[in-house]
Structure 1
Amino acid sequence: MTITWSNSRVGVDWQELAAVYRAAPLGDKNATDLEIVFSNSRFCCFASDGNRIVGAGRVLADGRDCAYLCDIAVLPSHQGLGLGKEIVAKLVAQSQSHAKIILYSVPGREPFYAKLGFLRMKTAMAIFRDRESALERGYLFEP
């Protein structure tokens, strides 16, 4: 296995990336939406094994104060090999000029991110379009 890394959105097969997110599993993100959100992100990271995307992540950022890592995904066949850790490390490195770097995690994956230096926040709050699903899946809880 030879992993190649890219920060460029040029030439990304968005259908293939959608399949990575479904398999990871990070939900059913359609290719058109992924192209939009990655295009609107300040930083991106793609890991490929040969010509196949096996991992990705992105950062929304304002250029100075806040950077937000999101959508970190690795195919199950490539999990446990350090790719997720490397994607996060590359995105954190690109975000170093920001005063704070925030990460949004799938419930249950917090220990993985804690090993990479992230700490829990007491004050983070959210509004989800599908509130009930977010509550059921553990993304939200009511006070």
Structure 2
Amino acid sequence: MEWTSDQDRIDWDVLSELYRIAPLGDKKPEDLKRAFANSMYKCFAFEEGTLASAGRAVADGVDCSYICDIAVHPRFQGRGLGKEIATRLRDLSRGHRKIILYANPGTEPFYEKLGFRPMLTAMAIFSNEDAAIKRGLIAPSTDRGDRQRH
């Protein structure tokens, strides 16, 4: 396995397809290019020229590093690539006061083995709230109209 952080080697159409089949959703190549360019840390794994895994962390260098978008090609799943990329991004993020990881529902036990703990105070706004609720990413709002009164 060849590891790199060099995004100049990345074919963004191939990375977009990786996210689709991983499956982590449809992410446009141009959006991925921008997201990775704006991320302090990134990891890509290749096997014999094939993009096998990718991930990134958005970080400020001091307070917070946010690990996200870890994807492993289905052909390479079950070989420890997810663990390796999460570990590499976690280690690159050391020194930040907090390292936050965004995980898909059901993967929490996997990340707990790497030292991550569930947050009790995390909140999110999704562009497609209904889809996020259906996927189990957020709970339905308990707001009973308070927003309209303020």
Displacement, 1:115? 1.1
After TM superposition, the structure 1 = structure 2 runs for residues 71-110 of structure 1, keeping only pairs within 5 Å, are 71-110=69-108
Deviations 1:8-44 (A, max 9, x none): 1112111111111011100011111100000000000
Once residues 123 and 12 of structure 1 are traced to their aligned partners in structure 2, the CA distance between those partners, rounded to angstroms, is 35
What aligned pairs does 1:29-108 form with structure 2 within 5 A after superposition?
A: 29-108=27-106
Aligned residues: 141
Provide the alpha-carbon RMSD of the alignment. 0.8
Distance 1:22 1:126 in 2: 23
CA distance in 2, matches of 1:50, 1:19: 18
2:31 partner SS: helix
The alpha-carbon deviation at position 108 of structure 1 amounts to 1.0
Give the structure 1 partner of residue 146 of structure 2. none
1:88 & 1:52 partners in 2: Cα distance?
Answer: 19
Which runs of at least 4 in structure 1 moved beyond 3 Å after TM superposition?
none
- Normalising by structure 1, report the TM-score: 0.96
Deviation at 1:93, TM superposition (A): 1.0
Q: Percent of aligned pairs with the same residue?
A: 50
Letter in structure 2 aligned against 1:41: S
Match of 1:118 in 2: 116
5+ residue gaps in structure 2? 143-150
Q: Which has the higher contact order (CA 8 A, sep 6+)?
A: 1
Structure-2 separation of matches of 1:80 and 1:133: 28
| Alpha-carbon separation, structure 2, partners of 1:64 and 1:37 | 20
**TM-score, structure 2 as length reference:** 0.92
Structure 1: gaps spanning 5 or more residues? none
